[in-house]
Structure 1
Amino acid sequence: MTAPAAPDLAADRSAFRLVLGLAAGITVLRLAALAVGGLPLYLDEAQYWFWAQTPAFGYFSKPPLIAWAIGATTAVCGDGAACVKAASPLAYGVATIFAYLLGRNLFGVRAGVLAALGFATLPGVTFSGLIISTDSLLLLFWTAALWAFERGLAAGARRYWLWLGVFLGLGLLAKYAMIYFAAPALIVAALQPKGRRPWGGLALAGAVGLLILSPNLIWNALSGFETFRHTAANASVGAKIGNIGGVVSFLGDQLAILGPAAALALMAVFWRPRRLFADPGLRMLAWFSLPVLALLIVQAFLSRAHGNWAAVAFPALIVLIMGALDGFGMRRLGRAVLAVDGAILAVMLVGVAWGGVPFMTLAAKTDPFRWVRGWDRLAAAVEAKRAGEAPRAVIVTDRGATAELIYHLRDSDALVRRWSEDQDNPADQFAMVLDLDDARGCDTVVVSRAATLPAALAAEFSAVEGPEKVEMRPYPDPKGTYYLFIGRNFGNGAPAAQGCRSITRTGRKL
């Protein structure tokens, strides 16, 4: 490959309008599928919605940007599931434009369009664009940071390093995995010719990024570094050394994110590595993708690694694949990648709009929406037991059901609280900010996965009735089975703190 010629301005404008239209069109299709299909919230999404009800500079397990994004979209169109998820399709729409700009700058206009299409239809992005998670916001700012970094290297202008700092800071506010950007950036900078190493620009970007992150750092310091401790516990390096099964599972997840056609294209591109690494643009993209994957394979071997932990490798990787296919004359393979990934996108959008898989009998092993199905049914059962002349509080023994019940009972006066074995060491945001003492003196609906209550919780009541078994899903599924109990007089004689009703519609302690 050779360095791209200066782009023809008319061709560039035409290509940019095409990419803008494609990004907008795919975004609208995602939003429409969510609105038509009414895809419910997964438990993590319901938890993030809860966070958004109380804007802050940090939360128990994540930085604050996801809560701010949900707060912004729900302020516009309400608390429906599609609106809660809306920031994700929007983020990927903008990221697609940065993928075009990066590919165009490195390989030319045609390769830029292919990179944009490759990113927009990447199977991992197709799935992630239909849920609200920290990954969608992270990948937006990671892709934008790649563009700013490449422009900083190529042009040396201070404004690009300032933009890099802004994107780094916002990415860190989305997810701390943005810190991975530092290592390849330093390596690529060190490999530049002497006299062109951008240490000053990187220092400026780092300072701006830390400035943007600083409110979250202060929040963590005031909260006992809760988010940092949770993140470290999640990694748990060395907990299961020699986890071969975890490595295989992690690699399978990466194949699913990349898609079968792009995986074959990647092998074709790497068939001649000397040819690949001779191109400076491809080398840069390799540094921003392959080491991340290698690091997390090691992490999976030493302990565990969830598939999405390597998500930041894929913006650079898909631009590398599409740029190399175009530059190496393998354009037919590039078209095949886009065709296969476009078909996957279409099938998934139809499935979400349909609310299932046509012609397939729903069962625990065949239902792609298993993990979001049935929470409304559980909420209705809880509300039926809770409501009456003397409303009962609700105490839940697991994080997922707490998140879903707070969301589904948001328009009632339900006082929902989270019980855990160790109240002094909260296991999630609910246990950290919702005061269980608000339910003292109340008769209570207790929601549990187990058919018997933990002894410590049962001892808090003067009497316990039940359980009543609730099957959330329209097919047998042990993960969809809950048990409802009636606990009398929580706290054994303690006076009712709030009259057993919610302080606010979300049951928050303000």
Structure 2
Amino acid sequence: MAEKILRWIENYPGAVILAALVVRGGFLLANGLDLIGDEAYYWDWSRWPDWCYYSKPPMVAWLIGLSTWLLGDFTVAVRMPALLLGAVFLWFFYATARAFYGARGGALALLLILATPINVLANFLMTIDPPLYCFWIMAIYYLRRALFDGQARAWLWAGCASAAALLSKQAALALPAMLLAFLLTDSQRRHLLKKEFPLYLLPILIAAVPILWWNQQHDWVMFGHSRSHFGNPEPVPLTKHLQWARDFLLYQVLLVSPGIFALLLLSSLRAAFNFGKLGAKQRFLLLMGPALLLGVLLLSFLQKAQGNWPMPFYFTGLILLAGERWAGYWQRSFKYALAFGFLMVATTYALPILLQAFNLQNTALDPTKRFKSWRELAVDVHFERLISVPQVEDTFLLALGHRYLASELAFYLPDHPRAYRFETSGEVSSQYEVWPGPVEYVGKNGFIIAEQTAESVPVVLVGAFERFRFLAEIANPDRPGAKYYLYLGENLKYWPDPIKRRADKESYVASDN
């Protein structure tokens, strides 16, 4: 049975990828889940195209902007790029595995990637990850052609794919870094450092220029944000280190599936310990992914690491694992790992139905809770807006709270108002603090939504309006018992920029000293 399936996939890989696209497209259209906070946040970025943003390069905003320009500001339109990028990813992933290990290796690798729950999420949620994954595997495909088939033009294509990956996420800098490591450790290909490697770097450097220019204009904010993810500001007990490592491992097991993760980890460790005995192709696959994965696993013990950080590092690891299975290793355990992986994938797709069938919706066991409630909140907020100001088109929205509150309401309110955020700390902690405040709305009305009562609203904000009044108390659908408070600020007189006020205060204190 397994042999027949593999032979069929070898003969019809395009049909498998097309079937996956159809299943995922149906899930996208039928699931009814709201955008998560990051998706709405990146959608808000897309309304103001730029060369970079507070925390990430611009690719995710560009793709969402193109999709919503074509299809409108709908949930499906925001997520459509993830669906299409996922299909392109699968094709290049299969083609890369086939180039390394033949048709059977390609079929095995395709089964492996389809049996990972992360591949479901990466083809559904439009975050920075789908474009990164797609362009990453494209870069690996063209690098393989350049290094092992001697195709000169492939160097430039690999550079373009790596540049697109860099425009998606800073982690793509690992591609040229690990390629350099491979060339330095491969005496037969070290000569490629003279001409071919600089040609590969050229598109990456071109893509980096606008990112660097934008950051220079904005106090290097993206680099500051990235730096905040590394290191511990104060000593941490051993128990905390162990907790970080445990949580990170659990995240990997859930996203990759237990069996596949275990086999890939064993395969990677075996390859790493036998690095000197590996062929050039195996060393390339190890360095372009599993070696980085092992590094992040170590990092997760030293500090808190985000669970999605190592995901692109799995790709060549899965191809390496498929090659080992093709060579006769892991035969029995491979079957069990695949079976359990596909069970987890099927459960992921069926989750909305299962939660409803077992009456688990909105309980502590419902992992889809963060996909809900925003649309409901927007309906309640819009109702109160219409009662107070029948014509809301020329008003703005101001959030006191998390950036998701601003971006989700901006998306789900029917008029998609311009959203702003008042950061009481005076620190730049999101793209909303990078953008200018609502100075263009001076003389106009704004709706302020907050989690604090009127007594706790900053005095400087209240004083910025001619009149400031409480409108309604709105239930927080995501947290029973918690409330949102909606206010109307009439006739904005000026914008009390909290970032500028803090900078002016610090400048004043410094001058006194």
The normalised TM-score by structure 1 is 0.84
The residue that corresponds to 2:501 in the other structure is none
Distance 1:274 1:289, change over 3 A: closer
The residue that corresponds to 2:244 in the other structure is 246
Distance 1:15 1:347, change over 3 A: closer
**Residue 41 of structure 1: how far off its partner (Å):** 0.4
Out of 461, 472, 475, the residue aligned to residue 477 of structure 2 is 472
Q: State yes or no: 1:47 paired with 2:44.
A: no
Which whole-Å deviations, capped at 9, do the CAs of 1:469-504 have from their partners, x for residues lacking one? 41314xx546xx44223245465x669xxxxxxxxx
- Contact 1:419–1:436 (8 Å) recurs in 2: no
In the aligned structure 1, how far is the partner of 2:140 from the partner of 2:235? 33
Q: Which amino acid aligns with 1:300?
A: S
Which whole-Å deviations, capped at 9, do the CAs of 1:380-410 have from their partners, x for residues lacking one? 1211221234646432112111000110125
Out of 15, 20, 27, the residue aligned to residue 26 of structure 1 is 20
Out of 105, 108, 118, the residue aligned to residue 124 of structure 1 is 118
Q: Which amino acid aligns with 1:468?
A: E
In the aligned structure 2, how far is the partner of 1:313 from the partner of 1:196? 24
The residue that corresponds to 2:369 in the other structure is 370
**Residue 175 of structure 1: how far off its partner (Å):** 0.5
The residue that corresponds to 1:155 in the other structure is 149
Q: State yes or no: 1:209 paired with 2:204.
A: yes
Tell me the percent identity.
Answer: 23
Structure 1 residues without counterparts, runs of 5 or longer: 1-11, 496-510
- Contact 1:101–1:147 (8 Å) recurs in 2: yes
- Contact 1:104–1:111 (8 Å) recurs in 2: yes
The residue that corresponds to 2:217 in the other structure is 222
**Residue 231 of structure 1: how far off its partner (Å):** 1.9
Which whole-Å deviations, capped at 9, do the CAs of 1:405-429 have from their partners, x for residues lacking one? 11012536x4543211256x54322
Distance 1:23 1:459, change over 3 A: same
Distance 1:123 1:440, change over 3 A: same
Distance 1:279 1:429, change over 3 A: same
The residue that corresponds to 1:286 in the other structure is 286
Distance 1:395 1:295, change over 3 A: same
SS in structure 2 at match of 1:198: helix
Extract structure 1 runs of 4+ deviating beyond 6 A. Answer: none
- Contact 2:378–2:412 (8 Å) recurs in 1: yes
Q: State yes or no: 1:182 paired with 2:154.
A: no
SS in structure 2 at match of 1:228: helix
Out of 257, 260, 263, the residue aligned to residue 258 of structure 2 is 260
- Contact 2:68–2:77 (8 Å) recurs in 1: yes
The residue that corresponds to 1:101 in the other structure is 95
**Residue 221 of structure 1: how far off its partner (Å):** 2.5
In the aligned structure 2, how far is the partner of 1:494 from the partner of 1:191? 61
In the aligned structure 2, how far is the partner of 1:389 from the partner of 1:363? 33
The normalised TM-score by structure 2 is 0.84
Q: State yes or no: 1:420 paired with 2:452.
A: no
**Residue 89 of structure 1: how far off its partner (Å):** 2.1
- Contact 2:293–2:314 (8 Å) recurs in 1: no
The residue that corresponds to 1:505 in the other structure is none
Q: Which amino acid aligns with 2:75?
A: A
Distance 1:415 1:93, change over 3 A: closer
- Contact 1:58–1:64 (8 Å) recurs in 2: yes
In the aligned structure 1, how far is the partner of 2:56 from the partner of 2:273? 41
- Contact 1:74–1:84 (8 Å) recurs in 2: yes
**Residue 202 of structure 1: how far off its partner (Å):** 1.7
- Contact 1:240–1:302 (8 Å) recurs in 2: no
Out of 390, 396, 399, the residue aligned to residue 396 of structure 1 is 399
Which whole-Å deviations, capped at 9, do the CAs of 1:57-108 have from their partners, x for residues lacking one? 2222211111111122223332221221111122122111222222222222
In the aligned structure 1, how far is the partner of 2:411 from the partner of 2:248? 32
**Residue 444 of structure 1: how far off its partner (Å):** 4.3
**Residue 358 of structure 1: how far off its partner (Å):** 2.7
**Residue 170 of structure 1: how far off its partner (Å):** 0.3
Moved more, 204-213 or 272-281: 272-281
**Residue 323 of structure 1: how far off its partner (Å):** 1.7
SS in structure 2 at match of 1:239: coil
**Residue 196 of structure 1: how far off its partner (Å):** 5.0
**Residue 258 of structure 1: how far off its partner (Å):** 1.9
Q: Which amino acid aligns with 2:435?
A: V
In the aligned structure 2, how far is the partner of 1:123 from the partner of 1:19? 20
Distance 1:227 1:405, change over 3 A: same
- Contact 1:364–1:477 (8 Å) recurs in 2: no
Q: Which amino acid aligns with 2:359?
A: M
The residue that corresponds to 2:295 in the other structure is 295
The residue that corresponds to 2:3 in the other structure is none
In the aligned structure 1, how far is the partner of 2:382 from the partner of 2:9? 54
**Residue 355 of structure 1: how far off its partner (Å):** 8.8
- Contact 1:118–1:338 (8 Å) recurs in 2: yes
Out of 409, 414, 439, the residue aligned to residue 437 of structure 1 is 439
Structure 2 residues without counterparts, runs of 5 or longer: 1-5, 496-513
Out of 55, 60, 63, the residue aligned to residue 66 of structure 1 is 60
The residue that corresponds to 2:487 in the other structure is 486
Distance 1:420 1:282, change over 3 A: same
Distance 1:369 1:112, change over 3 A: same
Q: Which amino acid aligns with 2:486?
A: F
Distance 1:241 1:189, change over 3 A: farther
The number of equivalent residue pairs is: 475
In the aligned structure 2, how far is the partner of 1:197 from the partner of 1:290? 25
In the aligned structure 2, how far is the partner of 1:448 from the partner of 1:310? 36
**Residue 436 of structure 1: how far off its partner (Å):** 2.8
Which whole-Å deviations, capped at 9, do the CAs of 1:284-321 have from their partners, x for residues lacking one? 22222233223324443444211111112111121122
In the aligned structure 2, how far is the partner of 1:415 from the partner of 1:133? 21
Distance 1:117 1:78, change over 3 A: farther
